[in-house]
Amino acid sequence: MDSDLTFVIGAILLALSIPSIFSALADSRPPRAAAVALLLGGGLVVYALGQKPGGIALAEIPEIFIRVIGRLLY
C-alpha cells in the first residue's frame, strides 16, 4: 500500500472518529470505537508522513485525494 492511500484512509478514519466521539459522549457512554478509529487513523497518517521523503504540504492534500480516488475509479 503506497503512502498516498494510507494517508487518505487515515484522514477519513480521523474525520469519521470526531462525530463518533461526540455521539458517545452525548449518550453518556465511553467512546471506545471512536478511540480505536482515532488511534488507527492517526497512526496511518503518521506512517504516511514518514514514508514521504519531503513530507506532505497542505496544498498537496487535495491532489492526493484526487489521485487516490482517480485510481480507484479507473
pLDDT in tens, 4-17: 999 999 999 999 99
Number of domains in the chain: 1
Rounded CA-CA distance 74/57 in Å is 26
Query: Structural domain of residue 45, as residue ranges?
Result: 3-73
Asked whether the beta carbons of 32 and 70 are under 8 A apart, the reply is no
The C-alpha R_g of the chain, in whole angstroms, comes to 14
Q: Where are the alpha helices (DSSP H) in the chain?
A: 3-26, 32-51, 61-73
Does residue 55 surpass a pLDDT of 90?
Answer: no
Comparing C-alpha atoms, which of 51, 74, 57 is closest to residue 2?
51
Instruction: Please provide the average confidence, as pLDDT, over all residues in the chain.
Output: 94
